[in-house]
Each structure stands twice: as structure tokens, then as C-alpha cells.
Amino acid sequence: MGAVTVRLNDKISGFVELLSRDTNKSRSEVVRELLTKAASEEKTNYWLKKYKNREVTLRKVAKELGVPLWKVLEIVGENQPYELSDLQRDLRAIGE
């Protein structure tokens, strides 16, 4: 595990303190959990954008996110419309 030092503004630092007290966790644990959640969301957004721009297939998105294809279809459906042309492209890619 790598170590990173960051400076937080007073508002965020205060919230980290509050979460730390309320969850009985160290500030480091709280920051690690918050950063992990944010990084996961950003990773998902990154691959969805690649998919939307037709740079990758759903199969690639599923592989990079480490989730089954059906889960990616669910995520895509929540974030953008899935059109017939998308389905056709993805079915061709699955056949590869």
C-alpha cells in the first residue's frame, strides 16, 4: 500500500473528524474509505465515457471494472440510453 499526504480544507477536515468520531474509526481509515469510494466512481465514469465515445465495448468495460456483463448493462442503463446500434456492436464484440 502506498502512502499519500494531502492537505484538506477546514470543511472537509471537520467532516472527516465527525465521521471518525461517529464510526469509531481513525481519520486515516475514514479518508481511505472516502477516497476508495470516489476512485471507484471515477473509474466507472472513465470507462463509461470510453464506451459512450465508442472507444471500447461493454465487454472491455466489464473486464476493467471487474464486474459481470449484466452489471455493466445495468450501470449503462442508469447512466445513458442503450440503443439498438449499441446492442448490435456489443453482440459483434461478444462473438469475437
What would the DSSP string read from start to end of 44-58? HHHHHHHHHTTSS-H
Give the confidence band of 1 by pLDDT, cuts at 50, 70, 90: confident
* pLDDT value of position 96: 62
The stretch 60-84 carries a mean pLDDT of: 86
* pLDDT value of position 50: 94
* pLDDT value of position 4: 84
| Residue 66 CA to its chain's centroid (Å) | 11
- Cα–Cα distances in Å, from 86 out to 55, 72, 91, 95? 12, 13, 9, 14
Question: Cell triple for residue 78?
Answer: 442508469
Distance CA 37, CA 17 (A): 18
- Which amino acid is residue 18, in one-letter code? L
The stretch 54-77 carries a mean pLDDT of: 91
Percent of the chain at pLDDT > 90 equals: 59
Question: Cell triple for residue 8?
Answer: 484538506
Supply the pTM of this predicted model.
0.71
Q: What is the mean pLDDT of the chain?
A: 89
